A and B are shown apart, each in its own frame.
Chain A
């Protein structure tokens, strides 16, 4: 069975500081991995996704994530946080054989302090 674990339900950083949101997955088959962002009172939107073409994936708004098979991780980073990055972030996994069924992590709320 597949699962996703996001370490830390709440992360707080200062504006301009590095953002690191952690995601570990378990999957018996090669997974597809996603990061979604949810701004207050909105639906989710895709930040980036791992397609197996490259282990370092660049997404929107300056975010990127690195797929590390040996560590079963797909951590999300951004070199310099902006106030507008304050949101909830979700890591998700799907099986390559059934891309429709996403399994989401619990979510991490990012707070950005001025």
Chain B
């Protein structure tokens, strides 16, 4: 099992360009998440999808859109990149079963630099 995979690993964009970060999991999980990690701020939730067909905003959704393409894939789109979106982006998934604290499984991350 590959777990959670993310592409690309690294990307440089110019201000105003758009791009889509891809995420896929092979653990048959219902729930998927997108976080950004910035120095001294921990990880902040951008969007999440509790189950296929549903998405919801997290703490910092502005400037982003998501698509839960199917149960395996959850993409994050930056329509018009800004330097403030320079960050490391992590995708995660969890079983999404009712009740109990769930472990989230993280991908290796995508480093994004917006010039």
Contact = CB atoms under 8 A, between A and B. Distances in A.
* Interaction A to B: yes
Interface string B72-115: 00000000000000000010101010001111111111000000
Interface string A76-114: 000000000000001000101001111111110000000
Given A100-B48, A100-B50, A34 B43 contact: no
A72 interface: no
Nearest to A101: B45
Most chain A CB inside 10 Å of its own CB: which residue of B4, B41, B48, B104: B104
B102 to A, nearest CB: 5
A70 interface: no
Interface residues of A, number: 25
B71 interface: no
B101 A49 contact: yes
Contact of B101 (A4, A34, A105, A107): A34
A43 B106 contact: yes
Contacts of B44: 104
Contacts of A50: 101
B58 A101 contact: yes
Contact of A51 (B43, B94, B100, B108): B100
Interface of B: 4, 31, 33, 40-45, 48, 50, 58-59, 90, 92, 94, 96, 100-109
28 contacts: A9-B40, A32-B101, A34-B103, A41-B108, A41-B109, A42-B108, A42-B109, A43-B90, A43-B107, A44-B43, A44-B90, A45-B105, A51-B101, A90-B42, A90-B43, A94-B101, A96-B101, A99-B102, A100-B96, A100-B102, A101-B45, A101-B48, A101-B58, A102-B43, A102-B104, A105-B42, A107-B40, A107-B42
